Amino acid sequence: MKIKTKVIGVDITLNYTTCAVIDIRGTIWGKDSFAMTDYPDVNNFVSMLCERIVKLAEDHGGFENIRSVGVSAPSSNFKTGCVENASNLSWKGVVPLAAMLRDRLGVAVAVGNDAHVAALGERAYGSAHGMENFLVMTFTEGGVGSSLFLNGRVHLGTDGFSGEIGHTIVAENGRQCGCGHKGCLETYVSILGIVQNLRDLLEESDEPSMARNIENLNAQSLVLCCQQGDKLALEAVNRAGRILGRAVANYCSALNPEAVILSGDILKVIDWMLPVLRETVDENVFHNLRGRVRLLASLLEPEERTVLGAGALAWEVPEYSLFK
Ligand SMILES: [Zn+2]
Distance 182 CA to ligand 1 centre (A): 7
pLDDT in tens, 45-71: 999 999 999 999 999 989 989 999 999
Average pLDDT value over all residues in the chain:
93
Tell me which amino acid residue 149 is. Answer: F
Q: How confident is the model at residue 179 (pLDDT cuts 50, 70, 90)?
A: confident
* Ligand 1 centroid, distance to 65 Cα (angstroms): 43
Indicate if the pLDDT at residue 114 is higher than 70: yes
Distance 257 CA to ligand 1 centre (A): 24
Quote the pLDDT of residue 74.
86
Task: Report the C-alpha gap between 65 and 316 in whole angstroms.
Answer: 17
Buried b (16+ CB within 10 A) or exposed e, 191-205: bbbbbbbbeebbeee
Q: How far is CA 267 from CA 83, 93, 128, 134, 237, in A?
A: 28, 34, 17, 18, 12
Collapse the DSSP code of 8 into the 3-class scheme (helix H, G, I; strand E, B; otherwise coil) and give the result.
strand
Looking at residues 146-152, what average pLDDT do you find? Answer: 94
267-297 pLDDT, tens digit each: 999 999 999 999 999 999 999 999 999 999 9
Q: What is the 180 CA–ligand 1 centroid distance (Å)?
A: 6
* Cα–ligand 1 centroid distance for 168 (angstroms): 7
d(CA 166, ligand 1 centre) in Å? 6
What's the 189 CA to ligand 1 centre distance in angstroms?
A: 12
pTM: 0.85
CA–centroid distance, 32 to ligand 1, in Å, is: 33
Centre of ligand 1 from the C-alpha of residue 187, in Å: 8
Output the CA 197–ligand 1 centroid distance in Å: 17
pLDDT given for residue 321 in this prediction: 66
Per residue in 3-38, pLDDT (tens digit) is: 889 999 999 988 899 999 999 999 999 999 999 988
CA atoms of 295 and 317, how far apart (whole Å): 30
pLDDT value at position 92? 84
